[in-house]
Structure 1
Amino acid sequence: MSSIAMSVVRAEGFHAPGPQDFNLPPIGPDKTFEFLGQTMYLGVTKPMIQMVLVAGVVFLFFWAASRKRAMVPSKLQYVGEAGYGFVRNSMGRDIIGTKDFLPYVPYLFALFFFILINNMLASVPFFQFPTFSRAGLVYALAAISWFVYLGVGIKKHGFGGFLKLTCVPQGVSKAMWPLLIPLEFMSNILVRPVTLALRLFCNMFAGHMLLILFALGGEYLITEMSAAYAPVGVIAWVLFILVSFLELLIQFLQAYVFVLLNAMYIQGSLADEH
């Protein structure tokens, strides 16, 4: 058999990563069902445990940081205050406005660190899985943001007033309303939570998929293919390391953007006109 044929045979043994690698089996009893051609699992999974664990870690850390407050802060208090000040000022006060921002800071603060730590678990040994690479978890988070957005607007303007401010464009001829009002309703009410969720989900999913591909592909080229492919495998591992550092930045940015958009939606709900 020629070397080319041998390479083809070896290549057939490599199974490229795909969405199935994110469908983790449950921890405990294995109950499955088929949905749209995919095997789905029932039960407690690793992403669920990560969410609960992160919620506990965030609560305990900031509780410990604020438990013994002092004029001269300890290192723990300093870190906690820096994190709180970052969310409070850059995403609360600067976006929502100095008049109305304070009631929403706890929500934005908890949301930011909850998403950030869950994202960073993709780079932590043993975990090595981004919680929000599971679409259902992200849509649940976006649904909470959507209800907050609607609740703030309805509380401030009333149901009819909020719909009018959100869906009726200002300074536009009434002749254009039949065309623009459905578009505004779709954009501001229906599509907004979907795009909010997709942005976070797609970045976490794609980034982790890329890491899996470089890591497993590099290993396969070095250990299973001929020596001529070894340098390519080494390059794949180098790219794996570089992309891992890039992922740390993306993990932070996606948490920041998600919470920033939440603040912008709240500000839009509170505004008297658009």
Structure 2
Amino acid sequence: MEHRGLLLVLVAALCLAGGADARHAKKSYQAVFSFGDSLSDAGNLIVDGIPKSLTTARAPYGMTFFGRPTGRCSNGRVVVDFLAEHFGLPLPPASQAHGKGFKKGANFAITGATALEYSFFKAHGIDQRIWNTGSINTQIGWLQKMKPSLCKSEKECRDYFSKSLFVVGEFGGNDYNAPLFSGVAFSDVKTYVPLVAKAIANGVEKLIELGATDLLVPGILPIGCFPLYLTLYNSSKKSDYNARTGCLRRYNRLAFHHNRELKQQLDQLQKKYPKTKIMYGDYFKAAMQFVVSPGKFVR
């Protein structure tokens, strides 16, 4: 089932990032540009063919809205699709798709993307155990390549981007999945947090330099509640779990640490660029509602 209610809560988390009621804060945008990983991918991974092992490009994915697999890691729409609809815009097409128009937006996200560069993982000896499709910088490079088809002069481009919404992320999940699943010590993975947050902030700054003024930057989800984490890191110690949620404490603390660091980086950027609106999207808090009160989100 496509959990529309669940996704709409995430949309609300983004729309409410500035503190206003989403129902009364609707703003007009000319386009929506999205960057991120599997939480946002609209088909970039499968543009040049479907990898044999990729289940997300096969049924039942896409069954509840599109009626067919689209490359989204969802059986329907992803969060940015709902955001586009909220602002009266078409769903942003995968940026690498052929024969598409991108004047009203594009989705640069691709499954497997990271905030950090591949060279970082190679330097830490886990390059053979990470499925990496590029970084946030890779996707910004795609935007820069597309730019001449969107606007002609620098002035026109800055005006156009200033009237567009930029959704930058989620990034970070794969930066932690790769080392954790590769057996890197948890204490070492924690040291990546400032680097990951800074990489995201640097990407946001590059977009601002291109002319973006309204940017939504989501944090990461509570990974300690993920079934995969609960299975891989199953523990016999009750103290390893949150009594209320049943989630693994230290992995949620890692996610919380990342989100806190990211917010601090974004606050610094906001001070540096006071004419922009940099909004933090609290995926963690929104998703925890599904864990605590799942019955509210089932049709």
Same-fold call, TM > 0.5? no
- Higher fraction of helix: 1
Q: TM-score, normalised by structure 1?
A: 0.31
Q: TM-score, normalised by structure 2?
A: 0.29
